[in-house]
């Protein structure tokens, strides 16, 4: 049965086999509604010094410019919620960075998925994307029926919360498309907005990235701004505050991915131990980790900033 419906069912079955939490499919087309939102976001300088966000504007809105002949955008989610978290009296890193770098782990799974499609369906061309190219992943996930964008701008699923990665496979194959997720289940809740210590979360599902703790501790290469002293709440790499307070995350369940398991040292290190961290310890604790992105110098800068707060 060589039909779009049959192909879609096969792809979703393979995605589940590879450990993906959800898989949805949308037709590759221009993201008309997102175009003015992205333009206004950039005009307001909400991207701060993330100048790469200004590049490839058209490609961010049209996957057919990324993959020649693109017909379908396959959106997938992968759970990273940990069973055990860091000790309380510590400087914290976002839960997504506890284990090995998700870019590599999930990219490999996407390659396996594409290979399976090519093996069993035929000559299909496509590209895999994991938060490293001009793809508006949350918009595509919503169009593919995976969930809705919460007020903190992260995708939420009723059954799983929001502690998951998003990834995409853009291919030149017609498939059966899922219904977009159109219902916002946040209602009147403003917990994420109220809890954000830097007031980065704005009304109407917008975020001022230039005020986000994750931006400061990961993206910003300059000195951390003094006006934000005493607002980081011990976050030294990324920030989970808006997710930790979200009621939907009471449904989050621990992942089963061995490569996302944290090293013992990461969980047990105290503030004093972080303050005395050496480059050798940094390399050991964060081997193959996404934290390497900020480098030893960036992490120690963040720790010093937090230490000066206390």
Instruction: List, by residue number, the catalytic residues.
Output: 131
CA atoms of 236 and 213, how far apart (whole Å)? 9
CA atoms of 60 and 36, how far apart (whole Å)? 12
CA atoms of 15 and 37, how far apart (whole Å)? 31
CA atoms of 297 and 10, how far apart (whole Å)? 46
Residue 48 CA neighbour count, 13 Å, CB half: 20
Angle between helix 4-17 and helix 102-120 axes, rounded to 10 deg: 140
Q: Are 218 and 293 in contact (CB under 8 A)?
A: yes
CA atoms of 169 and 158, how far apart (whole Å)? 23
Nearest one of 117, 129, 135, 111 to 168, comparing CA atoms: 129
Map residue 38 onto helix, strand or coil.
helix
Q: Are 236 and 296 in contact (CB under 8 A)?
A: no
């Amino acid at each position: 049965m060589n039909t779009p419906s049959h192909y879609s069912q096969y792809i979703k079955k393979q995605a589940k086999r590879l450990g993906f939490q959800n898989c949805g499919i949308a037709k590759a087309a221009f993201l008309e509604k997102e175009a003015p939102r992205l333009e206004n976001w950039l005009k307001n300088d909400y991207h701060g010094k993330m100048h790469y966000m200004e590049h490839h504007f058209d490609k961010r809105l049209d996957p057919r410019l990324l993959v020649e002949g693109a017909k379908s955008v396959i959106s997938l989610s992968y759970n990273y919620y940990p069973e055990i978290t860091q000790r309380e009296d510590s400087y914290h890193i976002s839960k997504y960075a506890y284990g090995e770098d998700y870019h590599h782990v999930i990219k490999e799974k996407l390659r396996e998925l594409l290979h399976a499609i090519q093996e069993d369906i035929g000559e299909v061309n496509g590209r895999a994307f994991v938060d490293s190219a001009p793809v508006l992943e949350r918009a595509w996930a919503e169009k593919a029926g995976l969930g809705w964008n919460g007020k903190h701008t992260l995708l939420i699923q009723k059954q799983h919360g929001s502690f998951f990665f998003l990834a995409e496979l853009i291919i030149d194959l017609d498939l059966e498309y899922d219904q977009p997720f159109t219902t916002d289940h946040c209602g009147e809740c403003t917990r994420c907005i109220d809890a954000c210590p830097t007031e980065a979360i704005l009304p109407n599902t917008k975020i001022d990235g230039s005020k986000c703790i994750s931006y400061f501790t990961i993206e910003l290469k300059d000195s951390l701004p003094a006006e934000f002293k005493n607002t980081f709440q011990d976050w030294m790499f990324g920030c989970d505050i808006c997710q930790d307070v979200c009621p939907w995350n009471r449904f989050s369940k621990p992942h089963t991915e061995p490569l996302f398991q944290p090293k013992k040292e990461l969980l047990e290190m105290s503030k004093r131990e972080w303050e005395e961290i050496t480059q050798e310890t940094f390399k050991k604790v964060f081997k193959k980790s996404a934290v390497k992105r900020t480098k030893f110098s960036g992490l120690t800068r963040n720790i010093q900033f937090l230490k000066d707060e206390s």
